[in-house]
Amino acid sequence: MIETPALRTCDLTVGYRARHRTRAVLEGVNVSVSRGQLVCLLGPNGIGKSTLLRTLAAMQPALAGRVELDARDARLLAPADLARRLAVVLTDRGAIDGLSARRVVELGRYPHVGWFGVLRHRDGIAVDAALAAVAASHLADQEISRLSDGERQRVMIARALAQQPSVLLLDEPTAFLDVPSRVELMALLRDLTRREHVLAIVSTHDLELALRVADVVWLVMPGGELASGAPEDVMLSGVVNAAFEGHRLRFHVADRSFRLLTGQRGDAVARGVGVRATLAAAVLEREGYAVGAGGPPLVEVDVDDTGWIAVAGGTRVQGIDFASLAHFLRERTI
C-alpha cells in the first residue's frame, strides 16, 4: 500500500504581494514527502527559505498552486484541524519565562482541548510522551528560563510534538546552538522522524551536517527553482556547487564538504601513513598549494610519527608539529 504523502505541493509559487507588485521567490514547486522522513531545506541567505516555510505552515498565502497535508488542501482546513496536522518550531522567544517546561509543552495541546483548556488524562499522556521523546523528562518541572539553549530547543520541539502533528516544520532550530548541541539536535530530529513517524522539515544553514542526516534535501537555487532528492543524488548532480560556490569556495563531493580554493602557489605532494598524510595535505592546501593535482611539485612533504620533513627549492627542513610546517610554508616566497 502506498502511504499518502504527509505533505505535497502542486505547482506551488511563493513570494510577496505588495500594493502594486507581486514578487515570486520560488515558482512551480512540486514536491512530495511522506511521514518518517527528515527533510532539510537548504540554500543561500535571503533566497526564500523562510518564505517557503511560512507558506507551507499556512502563515502566509501562496501566490499560486496549493499545499496538501495528508491529501487535504491546507487552505480548506479549519485552523484547529490544521493545528492538529502541522506544528512549528520557530526562532521566536515569546514571553514564556514564567512557565515550567511541562507547562510550555502543555500549551501544545491547545488544538486538542476544550474551551476552558482543561487537560484530561490523554493530554497528560501526550505531554509526558513528548517530553520523553526529546529526552527532557527530567527537565519537566524546571523553569524554562533556567534551561540551556539546547535544552530549551528540545522543550520547544516537545511542545510541537504535543500537538500530535503529522508534519513538523522547524525554522533554523540550530541557529543559536554550539556545535555539539547542533549535532545532537539534528540527530534527535532524525530519531524522532523514525520513532514518532512524523515528517520533519528543517531549514538550516548547516549544510554539511544536513547532507549527513537528511533523508531528503530541498535546495533552493538562485534562479527560483527547488532541487529535491536524496542528499547523495543532489550532491552528485552538481547543484550544490551551482548554489554555493564562489570564487574562494568549492564543494568537494567526495568529502561532502567545502574546501577553500587552493593552488595559486603551485603543486605539492604529501606522503605518509594514515591520517597524518591527509592532515599534512590540509596544511599545504591552506597555505595555497594544490595537493595531488598531478603536476611537478614545488614542495614535497614526508610525515611520520616523529615529525615532518619538507623539501622545497633545494632546501630541506624538518619539524615536529604542523604549526611549524605551516610557519615554514608561509615564510617561503614561492
Partner 1 sequence: MTRRELIMIAGLAVAVFAAFVLSLAIGSTRIPPSRVVEALIGGGVSDEDRAIVMAVRLPRAVTAMLAGAALGIAGLQMQTLFRNPLADPFALGVSSGASLGVALVVLGSGSIAGLFGSTTGLAGDALITAAAIAGAGSVLVLVLAVSSRIGDATVVLIFGLMFGYAVSACVTVLVGASAPERLQQWAQWGLGSFSGVTWPRLRLFGGLTAFGLALAAVTPKQLNALLLGDRYASSMGLAVRRVRVMTMAGASVLAAVVTAFCGPISFIGIAVPHLCRGLTGTGDHRVAVPAVVLMGAVVALAAQTVSVLPGDGTVLPLNAVTALVGAPTVVVVLLRRRRHGGHV
Is residue 90 a contact residue for partner 1 (CB under 8 A)?
Answer: yes
- Binds partner 1 by CB under 8 A, chosen from 39, 52, 88, 186: 88
In what side-by-side order are the strands of the sheet with 199-203? Answer: 86-89, 167-171, 199-203, 38-42, 216-220, 226-229
CB of 52 to partner 1, least distance (A): 16
Residue 292 sits in the site that holds partner 1 (CB under 8 A): no
Specify whether the CB–CB gap between 218 and 198 falls below 8 A: no
Q: Is the separation of the CB atoms in 56 and 75 below 8 Å?
A: no
> Does residue 62 belong to the site contacting partner 1 (CB under 8 A)?
no
From 36-44, 113-121, 197-205, 256-264, give the range in contact with partner 1 by CB under 8 A. Answer: 113-121
Chain residues 159-218 in contact with partner 1, contact rule CB under 8 A: 163
According to CB under 8 A, which one of 87, 211, 226, 280 is a site residue for partner 1? 87
Pick 117 or 274: Cβ nearer partner 1:
117
Q: Please state, as a whole number, how many other Cβ atoms lie within 10 Å of the Cβ of residue 120.
A: 12
Cell reading at 293: 593535482
The C-alpha angle 234, 237, 238, rounded to 5 degrees, equals 100
Residue 117 or 295: which CB sits closer to partner 1?
Answer: 117
Name the one range near partner 1 by CB under 8 A: 9-17, 40-48, 84-92, 222-230: 84-92
Q: Assign 323 to helix, strand or coil.
A: helix
Query: Which span (37-45, 62-70, 83-91, 250-258) binds partner 1, by CB under 8 A?
Result: 83-91
CA angle, residues 177, 183, 184, in degrees to nearest 5: 90
Report the interface residues with partner 1, using CB under 8 A: 57, 59, 78-80, 82-83, 86-88, 90, 92-100, 103, 107-108, 110-111, 113, 115-117, 143, 145-146, 163
